[in-house]
Amino acid sequence: MVKIAVMGDYDSIYGFSALGLSIFPIEGQDAEKASAILRNLAENDFGIIYITEETAALLPKEIAKYRERQSPAIILIPGVHGNTGAGIEGVKKTVEQAVGSDILFE
Amino acid sequence: MASTQVNPTRMELTRLKKKLVTAVRGHRLLKDKRDELMREYLDLVRENMDLRKKVEKGIRDANRNFVLARAGMSEETLKTALLTPKQEVYLKTSTRNVMSVDIPVYDYTTRTADRNDIFSYGFAYTSADLDGAVQSLSDILPDMIHLAEVEKSCQMMAAEIEKTRRRVNALEHVIIPETQEGIRYITMKLDENERSTQVRLMKVKDMVLNDAHHYDERAAAGA
């Protein structure tokens, strides 16, 4: 049994705590703290980590590291400040990696 | 290929022939694997895109509801209301094997049997908007978990496809031609050796016969 974590600024994620997901607020642009939390979550029992796109933009390297590992799944979600398109971009990137070019969504 | 030095021996030739057979078989298998992975992947990635759009829209709507809810009540009340969650989500992960890629399968259970048992607060001090906001978020949770499963699978399969494609290309463009070249080089070298042995033998035979019958001297005497 593993748990689900949500990382991001407090305003974007506090609602998830009502559903029973564990929330880990990251305030501001504190990349160091965010990467420490992410590493901690990944090493412990969290199967899925949802990260808001803004916070994910702070730690591209850490997220890339976990991309090909089986656990955890790191999934980007839009934050309260709107959608930066990073999530869709991530899907396109996998298509490019697999096919060689972006054939699905021009 | 002149760049790689091969020993022109029969043993080496047998070894190379075996290697070629293995390489050709491996190439065919890997190509099939790549095609099948690609087929599965394309289905999956389309689903991924649709799900992602749906989830992003759901979260955006939920966020809008939360902003409204927040406007209607004080910060403290809101924090207190959500401070002690009633519900908890546990995830059971298993894996499914698709073409030797172990993709995850997520199954989730909630602590209480009723999945809608999400309101961790009494309704007296909070605004009604908050109930709607929490509910709207709760509605997209199954989709979010499904999205995590699909997106993770896509990422893992993309990595595997890339790896397989690289192997197929290496076999097709490097290993197989090199081995064929090596085989041709050895065969030619062995043939060449055989011819030179043949010629040497003929020459030796001539010399031996000449020694025995003195053809040269007789020819000289007859002339």
Note the Cα B108 to chain centre separation in Å.
28
Q: What is the pLDDT of residue B195?
A: 96
The answer to whether residue B79 is domain-embedded is yes
Contact yes or no for A91 and B154 at CB 8 A: yes
Residue A32: burial class (beta carbons within 10 Å; 0-12, 13-18, 19+): exposed
> Considering only alpha carbons, which residue of chain A is nearest residue B106?
A47
> Considering only alpha carbons, which residue of chain A is nearest residue B133?
A15
Contact yes or no for B89 and A1 at CB 8 A: no
User: Is A3-81 CATH 3.40.50.10580?
Assistant: yes
Contact yes or no for B45 and A50 at CB 8 A: no
> Considering only alpha carbons, which residue of chain A is nearest residue B101?
A70
Count structural domains, chain B: 1
DSSP state of A85: S
Contact yes or no for B157 and A98 at CB 8 A: yes
pTM as predicted: 0.81
Contact yes or no for A4 and B91 at CB 8 A: yes
CA distances from B113 to A18, B98, B110, B167 (A): 16, 32, 6, 49
Strand A46-52 relative to strand A3-8, pairing: parallel
Residue A28: is its pLDDT beyond 80? no
Q: What is the pLDDT of residue B39?
A: 92
CATH code assigned at B59: 1.10.287.3240
> Considering only alpha carbons, which residue of chain A is nearest residue B163?
A98
Helices marked H in chain B: 10-71, 75-83, 128-170, 176-213, 215-222
**CA-wise closest residue to A3 among A43, A51, A45:** A45
Helix (H) or strand (E) holding A15: helix A10-19
Domain ranges of chain A: 3-81
The answer to whether residue B188 is domain-embedded is no
- Residue B88 contacts by C-beta under 8 Å, 6 or more apart in sequence? A3, A20, B110, B111
Q: Which residues of A touch B78 (CB under 8 A)?
A: 14
Residue A106: is its pLDDT beyond 60? no
Query: Is the CB of A101 inside 8 Å of chain B's CB atoms?
Result: no
Strand B89-98 relative to strand B101-110, pairing: antiparallel
- Domain boundaries, position B25: 10-180
What would you report as the CA-atom Rg of chain A, rounded to the nearest whole angstrom? 14
**Nearest CA distance, B179 vs chain A (angstrom):** 28
Across chain A, what does the average pLDDT equal? 82
The answer to whether residue B39 is domain-embedded is yes
The answer to whether residue B159 is domain-embedded is yes
Low-confidence ranges of chain B (pLDDT < 70): 1-4, 113-118, 120-125, 223
